[in-house]
Amino acid sequence: MNATPLLSGRGLTKEYPMGAERVHALCGVDIDVYPGDFLALRGPSGSGKTTLINLLGLLDVPDQGTLRLDGRDTATLSENERADTRRDRFGFVFQSFNLIPVLTAAENVAYPMLLKPQPRRPSATAPGVALPPASMQSWRAALASIPSAKPEPPGDMQARAGELLAAVGLAGKEHVRPDLLSGGQRQRVAIARALANHPAVIFADEPTASLDSRTADTILDLMKQLNKERGVAFVLSTHDPRVVERAARVIALHDGAIEMEAA
């Protein structure tokens, strides 16, 4: 892989307190994630897979080491900037799906889109602010040029949520609440949700652990297909050999250190 890494971790170290002692969850791990990657992190329980995913996904901060996103040191990001980065650049798929129970499948998918800031209406009377362009097209172009302020209009959100659900094979399930879906269907909704804001990377922590083997195969095939078709990178932590079989790259972790890396 000779492309510029999307994410680049060097010397990533993380410790957790456990009673009076401190557990070394990660000990100086070096890792790169490339655009369009399909990377599996494997290893036994306690090897540091989840900790590494948490650090790469900006859910946690390393005690030592640096993590760069597009070349920028993530240590310089404020808490809100980290949240915005997760929203705009990353997607997450959890072992136990973590869908919001009060939302329908489509609403769950649309939720990350809602988190985008709403654009401010330009004021015609404010000094120094140009009047909105006359045509809708040029107005949209002006809106699109505002950095990190590209919310989907409500209608577009619904349409996109429907499209994503269809892409994961859940057309017709838009208005169903998560408690009425099977485990596999819930994980599909979670994948669709992860895709909502056109992420560069989707982090999936043990995505097949709560699924039967047939469903797990289907989910993995879906992820692989999305990886190929949409170019979105996947970083998966797993015990599951089927995940490893499908991965383009595999990093084996043991006691918080990289034991082996294979393409």
Partner 1 sequence: MNRLTVAWRNVTRNRRRSLITGGIVAFGFVSFALAGGFMAQSFDGLRLSAIRSGLGHVQFADARAFEKSEGTTLEFGIRRADAALAVLRADRDAEVVMPRLEFYGLVSTGGTSIPFGGTGVDPQAEARGSDIPKTVQDGQWLQADARAVVIGRGLAKLLNARVGDDLTLLVTTPDGTLNAVDATVGGIADILIRELSERYLALPLPLAQELLAAPDTVSRFSLILHDGANESAAAVRLGSALRQAGVDLGARLWRDLAVFYQQVRVLYIGIFGFMGTVLVVIVFLSTFNATLMSVTERTREIGTLRALGARSRRIATGFVLEGALLGLASAIGGALLSLLITLIVNLAEIHMPPPPGMAKGIVIHVQVIPVVYLLAALAMIVTLAMASFLPARRAARAPIVESLAHV
Q: How many residues bind partner 1 (CB under 8 A)?
A: 27
Q: How far is the CB of 59 from partner 1 (least distance, A)?
A: 5
* Closer Cβ to partner 1, 128 or 153, answer by number: 153
CB of 193 or CB of 246, closer to partner 1: 193
234 binds partner 1 (CB under 8 A): no
Asked whether position 15 contacts partner 1 by CB under 8 A, the answer is no
Distance from C-alpha of 101 to C-alpha of 120, rounded to nearest angstrom: 31
DSSP for residue 76: G
In DSSP notation, 138-205 reads HHHHHHHTSTT--PPPHHHHHHHHHHHHHHTT-TT-TT--GGGS-HHHHHHHHHHHHTTT--SEEEEE
CB of 203 to partner 1, least distance (A): 9
Q: Is 255 in the site for partner 1 (CB under 8 A)?
A: no
- 160 forms part of the interface with partner 1 (CB under 8 A): no
Check binding of 75 to partner 1 (CB under 8 A): no
CB burial string 127-137: b at 16+ within 10 A, e below: eeeeeeeeeee
Q: Which residue in 21, 2, 51 sits closest to 256, CA to CA?
A: 51
Which residue, chain included where needed, has tokens 């595999």? 250
* Residue 185 phi, psi (nearest 5): -65, -40
Contacting residue, 12, 33, 34, 87, with partner 1 by CB under 8 A: 87
Give the x/- contact pattern for partner 1 in 90-129, rule: CB under 8 A.
--x-x---x-xxxx---x--xxx-xx--------------
What ranges in the chain are assigned the alpha helix state H?
A: 49-56, 79-89, 105-114, 136-144, 154-167, 183-194, 213-230, 241-246
Can you tell me whether residue 55 is helix, strand or coil?
A: helix
* Residue closer to partner 1 (CB basis): 190 or 250: 190
Compute the residue count for the chain: 263
Count Cα atoms within 13 angstroms, Cβ side, for 248.
16
Verify binding: residue 46, partner 1, rule CB under 8 A. no
Which residue in the set 79, 126, 130, 136 belongs to the binding site for partner 1 (CB under 8 A)?
A: 79
CB 128, min distance to partner 1, A? 29
- Judged by beta carbon, residue 43 or residue 218, the one nearer partner 1 is 43
User: What are the two backbone dihedrals, phi and then psi, of residue 257, each rounded to the nearest 5 degrees?
Assistant: -130, 155
Looking at residues 197 to 226 of the shown chain, list those that interact with partner 1 (rule: CB under 8 A). Answer: 197
Q: Which of 15, 32, 60, 217 binds partner 1 (CB under 8 A)?
A: 60
Closest approach of partner 1 to the CB of residue 131, in Å: 29
Interface ranges with partner 1 (CB under 8 A): 54, 57, 59-60, 79-80, 83-88, 92, 94, 98, 100-103, 107, 110-112, 114-115, 193, 197
